[in-house]
Amino acid sequence: MKIKLVAILLAGTSLASMSLPAHHGGSFYDGTKSTTVRGAVTEFRFVNPHVVIAIAVEGAEGGLIEWSGELTSPNRLARAASGGGATNTIHWTKDILVPGDEIELTGNPARNGAPAMRITKVVDANRMVLLGGDETEADNAHTVRESEYVWAVPANGGGDLRGVWMRRNDYAYQNYAFSVDLPPMTLWAKARYEEARPTFGPNGVAVSDTNDLVYQCFPPGVPRIYFHPHPFEIIQTPGRVMIAYEYQQLLRQVFTDDREHRNDLAPMWLGDSTGRWEGDTLVVETVNFNDRTWIDRRGVPHSDQLRVVERIRRSNEDELTVDITVADPIAFTEPWTSRKIFDKVDWSLEEFVCLDDSSYQEFERALLEYDGGSPKE
């Protein structure tokens, strides 16, 4: 008998939403266990936000069981960039796997015994490792390629921040927070933090249970935008610096022509940014936020009095340092600072379109209700 884990998922994209353990608080997959299955590809969906693979595996009692596995985003796989708990040195394409290919999948299995996993390794019929290769190989693959870009001070003054930049995560918490410890919150902020149901961090819940507005396709806000695992590009013109984020194709305009903040705007998701040059450092002040976003991915709140100051400078030719100061008299007892480091990458920004949370909910509901046979209707 062939068991379809969730037939509706293989006609859509929602299974692919489950790639990072922190993404869903580790609620579905057992990161302490690993399982390996082999079989023919029945489905390969190279789609945002995450890639999904399904294979037909021979069951212990005969018949075929369809195992479903999920990976990081297609953009990251195409760039041979690590993600989703696995490394890779192969530049994936939409045709790297086709139905009928014999492959081997290794990953963290679903906690409730459903035939599903978070994939950490993919090996093809020729024993080529398509994902989860040697760490040393992965490090070599991440070396920035030579380009025609020249690091020089622009003619209009200030530093040169141009290029495409990708976040660096040296510690697990950097995927979702500025530090292990919580910032100094007021009683107002603590109460809202307790009400938050994030999908990341120690209080992580399933997407179907979250109240994170990102899963309804609202912008993540500033400075949270720096946590999402997608690159951004800095473009400089006289009197203006533009920061283009691959995530949801968001764009920030930072005017450096001595203008004041506007006072005729409604509260915004990304706020109103102005900037000035202090030598080769761009100092960006952003205000006029709404109070609907979180500071990070673990649910730290802020009010509409939030003020974010970013000091952006090029540490060396291939490294960008962003020192961030957060001040909000309603949410925090005192201003606090943090630092994010970004590496220059020889990439072009690709399309990454948000999907609302209905597809996530379909997947999680089916996986949670798995009863050892067919999924419940």
Q: Is residue 243 part of a domain?
A: yes
Distance of alpha carbon 21 from alpha carbon 377, whole angstroms: 26
CATH code for the domain of 274:
2.40.128.20
Domain residues for the domain of 111 are 7-141+358-368
- CB-CB contact of 230 with 348 (8 Å): no
Q: Which of 91, 70, 56 is nearest to 12 (CA)?
A: 70
Q: What is the pLDDT of residues 31-77, one digit of tens each?
A: 889 999 999 999 998 877 778 899 999 987 788 999 988 888 888 88
Q: Based on the domain organization, do 169 and 110 belong to the same domain?
A: no
Lowest mean pLDDT among 141-145, 219-223, 314-318, 335-339: 141-145
Q: Are residue 136 and residue 191 in the same domain, yes or no?
A: no
Q: Output phi, psi for 78, to 5 deg.
A: -65, -30
- DSSP assignment letter at 347: -
Three-state DSSP class for 226? helix
Assess whether 42 and 102 both reside in one domain: yes
156, part of any domain? no
Is 83 a residue whose pLDDT tops 70? Answer: no
Cα angle 336, 339, 344; round to 5: 155
Could you tell me if 86 and 179 lie in one domain?
Answer: no
Do 89 and 184 belong to one domain?
Answer: no
Model confidence pTM above 0.85: no
Written as six digits, the tokens of 89 are 């040195």
Give how far the C-alpha of residue 183 lies from the chain's centroid of Cα atoms, to the nearest Å: 22
Question: Residues 209, 211, 215, 217: what is their CA dihedral angle, to the nearest 10 degrees?
Answer: 150
CA distance 328 to 207: 28
Average pLDDT of the chain to the nearest whole number: 83
Please name the helix (run of DSSP H) or strand (run of DSSP E) that holds residue 76, with its range, or none.
Answer: helix 74-78
**Any domain includes 151:** no
217-267 pLDDT tens trace: 999 999 999 999 999 999 999 999 999 999 999 999 999 999 999 988 889
User: What are the CA-CA distances from residue 32 to residues 35, 111, 118, 364 (Å)?
Assistant: 10, 10, 12, 20
Answer yes or no: is 352 within a domain. Answer: no
- Assess whether 189 and 312 both reside in one domain: yes
Residue 191: inside a domain: yes
Strand partners, 43: 54
Is residue 185 located within the same domain as residue 37?
Answer: no
**Residue 103 is encoded by which pair of tokens?**
């492959």
Q: Decide which of 210 and 148 is more confident.
A: 210
In a domain, 157, yes or no: no
125 and 171 belong to one structural domain: no
Identify the CATH number of the domain in which residue 76 sits.
2.40.50.140
Beta bridge partners of 102: 40
Note if the bond before 223 is cis, omega within 30 degrees: yes
Residue 373 lies in a domain: no
Give the pLDDT score at 263: 87
170 and 241, same domain (yes or no): yes
Torsion of Cα atoms, 279 then 295 then 17 then 101, to 10°: 30
Q: Residue 323: name the closest of 256, 278, 271 by CA.
A: 278
Same domain, 128 and 209: no
* Residue 30 counted as domain residue: yes
Predicted confidence (pLDDT) per residue in 177-217, tens digit: 999 999 999 999 999 999 999 999 999 998 888 999 998 89
Could you tell me which of 63, 47, 39 has the C-alpha nearest to residue 359? 47
Q: Are residues 117 and 198 in the same domain?
A: no
180 and 311 part of one domain: yes
Count of domains for the chain = 2
